[in-house]
Amino acid sequence: MSTAQSLLQWVGAALLCVAVIVVVRTATFPSYQTRPPPCNATDQDFIPATRARLDRLSQAVTFRTVSYEPGRGTPEELRKFLAFLRASFPALHASPLVTREVVGNFSLLYRVQGSDRSLKPALLAAHLDVVPVTEEPGWEAEPFSGQQKDGFVYGRGTIDCKHNVLGQLEALEFHLNRGHRPRRALYLAYGHDEEVSGHYGARKIGELLEERGVKPEFILDEGLTVTKGVVPGVGKKVAMVAITEKGYVTVKLSVRVKGGHGSMPEKESAIGILSQAVTNLERNLQPNLWGSGPERDFAEHLATEMSLLPRLLTANLWLFTPVVRWVLAQKPSTNALCRTTTAVTRFNAGIKDNVIAPEAVAIVNHRVHPKQTIQEVLEHNLKVIDDPRVKMEVVESLVPAPVSPSGPESAAYMAIQESIQQIYPDSLVAPSVLMGNTDTRHYWNLTSAIYRFSPNVMTPEDLTRFHGVNERISVQDYERVMNFYFHLMRNVDKPLVVRRHEHDGDL
């Protein structure tokens, strides 16, 4: 046999081995999905989306509690919104078990006393402010009308995140009205400037709780949602519970040149030089790191629920990671899980048609992948810009959040998972990475168990409603939101026990 023939045989044998491993791993990959626990709720334990409850959500939307910049919000609207909340939930506000504090002028901190002091408190968070409405046309209902139409409530805040504020308060009001006396203390923390980093709201709440030595068992804030048709290869609904969030670094790029008359330009303008720098950043993305951080767990939790090809790829990441990286990088929502993203969010230069602009400035907002450092992001930028005329300064930065425990080893995570499955019995639940940031950045010192999840459904078509046009929630989803929080309050109102790690496949 010639050397070429024997080499061919070896290659063939190796390929066969690889194929066998791939098939075996695909067939035997463990299932991480647990069955929903039985829900012993009765009809009386259900919060229906009555006219009054829907109207309260609609009314909440009519308060234009917009945040524009840190320290520049809408104080009058916030004051009115706070008064509205107080008037709308009489049982809660009259209860001797509940204390209410206004923190940082407009943020709210409620504490519901628990009867069992051995149980660490739970903390549910959300925010009172909303992002502004842009000039973009196309709203099917006035954005601050809270209009109810075709089974939806429309307006700013309906999914970000007055639905969580109102849903939590409705659940607590319902609980207290039924004479419930909690065993575990519960905090509700509502910042008033989350949309501009939470420096005056959640930060103050975090400091206050730390000063008081409050150590919650877990914190649940807004975050990812139940998704439908968003995760490649998975037909069922997927509830994405974020166990960490990406960091961020915002950089200012600037170019200075000599100004002058528009009739006698130099070869290159500040605008041209900066445009080239920005183009270089967009053409040379930060490295695709998918699979090296906690986002890998997300895929592995869903592998057994995927259609054949995605399942084969996910069950064999030892071989197919580069393929998965390429596939996920094709869409903005999944690309966000792959790498530190680069968004050029501002570009300013020039003051007059016939004057050479002496300066051009761009702001670039990066969301940092959990496995990259801020220093590495900056080094990459300098390398691809490769032009000493472009100055780069860091405006603001935050390292990726610590990763919270998930799975059966974490009782708090499991209580959230169970509550989700009681409301969405047909859903899969998986730990995920949030691509944006929440007020929880101010709560890192309070507990290591921080989760970010909003209990409404998002389809691919809904993703642009978030901070965009036609923000809305369906009546059915709002009902689920209220009942999710109600179930969670019940599920955590007992000692939380860590369960033995078990996969479905092992049963």
Ligand X SMILES: CCCCCCCC/C=C\CCCCCCCC(=O)N[C@@H](Cc1ccccc1)C(=O)O
Six-digit token pair at 140? Answer: 């099917």
Beta carbons of 178 and 41 less than 8 angstroms apart: no
Task: Indicate the residue among 160 and 300 with the shorter CB distance to Zn ion.
Answer: 160
The binder of ligand X chosen from 61, 230, 357, 364 (CB under 6 A): 230
d(Cα 322, Cα 329) in Å, to the nearest integer?
11
Q: How far is the CB of 234 from ligand X (least distance, A)?
A: 9
d(Cα 13, Cα 362) in Å, to the nearest integer?
55
Q: Does 437 bind ligand X (CB under 6 A)?
A: yes
Task: Indicate the residue among 363 and 392 with the shorter CB distance to ligand X.
Answer: 363
Task: Indicate the residue among 295 and 493 with the shorter CB distance to ligand X.
Answer: 295
The helix/strand count (H/E) of the chain reads as 14, 17
Q: Does 481 bind Zn ion (CB under 5 A)?
A: no
Question: 136 catalytic, yes or no?
Answer: no
The binder of ligand X chosen from 107, 225, 419, 440 (CB under 6 A): 225
d(Cα 142, Cα 154) in Å, to the nearest integer?
8
The pattern of x and - marking residues 303 through 342 that bind ligand X according to CB under 6 A reads ------------------------------xx--x-----
Q: Does 438 bind ligand X (CB under 6 A)?
A: yes
Q: Which of residues 473-502 bind ligand X (CB under 6 A)?
A: none
Q: How far is the CB of 410 from ligand X (least distance, A)?
A: 22
Q: Does 129 bind Zn ion (CB under 5 A)?
A: no
**Residue ranges in 220-353 assigned as alpha helix (H):** 270-283, 295-302, 308-315, 317-328, 332-338
Beta carbons of 471 and 242 less than 8 angstroms apart: no
Beta carbons of 127 and 191 less than 8 angstroms apart: yes
Task: Indicate the residue among 341 and 438 with the shorter CB distance to ligand X.
Answer: 438
Q: Which of residues 369-388 bind ligand X (CB under 6 A)?
A: none
Among candidate residues 97, 108, 290, 220, the one with its CA nearest the CA of residue 481: 220
Q: Does 227 bind ligand X (CB under 6 A)?
A: yes
Q: What is the 3-state secondary structure (H, E, C) of 134-181?
A: CCCCCCCCCCCCCCEECCEEECCCCCCCHHHHHHHHHHHHHHHHCCCC
Beta carbons of 450 and 218 less than 8 angstroms apart: yes
Q: Which does 217 bind (CB under 5 to 8 A by kind): ligand X, Zn ion, none?
A: none
Residue 393: phi and psi, rounded to 5, are -125, 145
Task: Indicate the residue among 146 and 191 with the shorter CB distance to ligand X.
Answer: 191
The binder of Zn ion chosen from 161, 166, 176, 230 (CB under 5 A): 161
Q: Does 435 bind Zn ion (CB under 5 A)?
A: no
d(Cα 387, Cα 408) in Å, to the nearest integer?
51
Q: Which does 447 bind (CB under 5 to 8 A by kind): Zn ion, ligand X, none?
A: none
Six-digit token pair at 388? Answer: 């000493």
Question: 221 catalytic, yes or no?
Answer: no
Q: Does 193 bind Zn ion (CB under 5 A)?
A: no
SS3 472: strand
Q: Which does 227 bind (CB under 5 to 8 A by kind): Zn ion, ligand X, none?
A: ligand X
Six-digit token pair at 233? Answer: 């290869």
- Which residue of this chain has its Cβ atom nearest to ligand X in the complex? 436
Q: Does 197 bind ligand X (CB under 6 A)?
A: yes
d(Cα 301, Cα 454) in Å, to the nearest integer?
19
Q: What is the 3-state secondary structure (H, E, C) of 18-63?
A: HHHHHHHHHHHCCCCCCCCCCCCCCHHHCCCCCHHHHHHHHHHHHC
d(Cα 202, Cα 217) in Å, to the nearest integer?
18
- Identity of the residue numbered 320: F
Matching residue, tokens 């877990």: 218
Six-digit token pair at 315? Answer: 């069950």
Q: How far is the CB of 160 from Zn ion (least distance, A)?
A: 4
Q: How far is the CB of 467 from Zn ion (least distance, A)?
A: 6
Q: Which of 170, 194, 217, 477 is catalytic?
A: 194
Q: Does 168 bind ligand X (CB under 6 A)?
A: no
The pattern of x and - marking residues 266 through 285 that bind Zn ion according to CB under 5 A reads --------------------
Q: Does 160 bind Zn ion (CB under 5 A)?
A: yes
Q: Which does 231 bind (CB under 5 to 8 A by kind): Zn ion, ligand X, none?
A: ligand X
Q: How far is the CB of 438 from ligand X (least distance, A)?
A: 5
Q: Does 456 bind ligand X (CB under 6 A)?
A: no
Q: Which of 129, 170, 418, 439 is catalytic?
A: 129
Among candidate residues 431, 405, 372, the one with its CA nearest the CA of residue 496: 405
Stretch that binds Zn ion, among 93-101, 158-166, 362-370, 444-452 (CB under 5 A): 158-166
Q: Which residues are catalytic?
A: 129, 194
Residues that bind ligand X (CB under 6 A): 195-197, 224-225, 227, 230-231, 248, 333-334, 337, 434, 436-438, 458, 463, 466
Residues that bind Zn ion (CB under 5 A): 160-161, 222
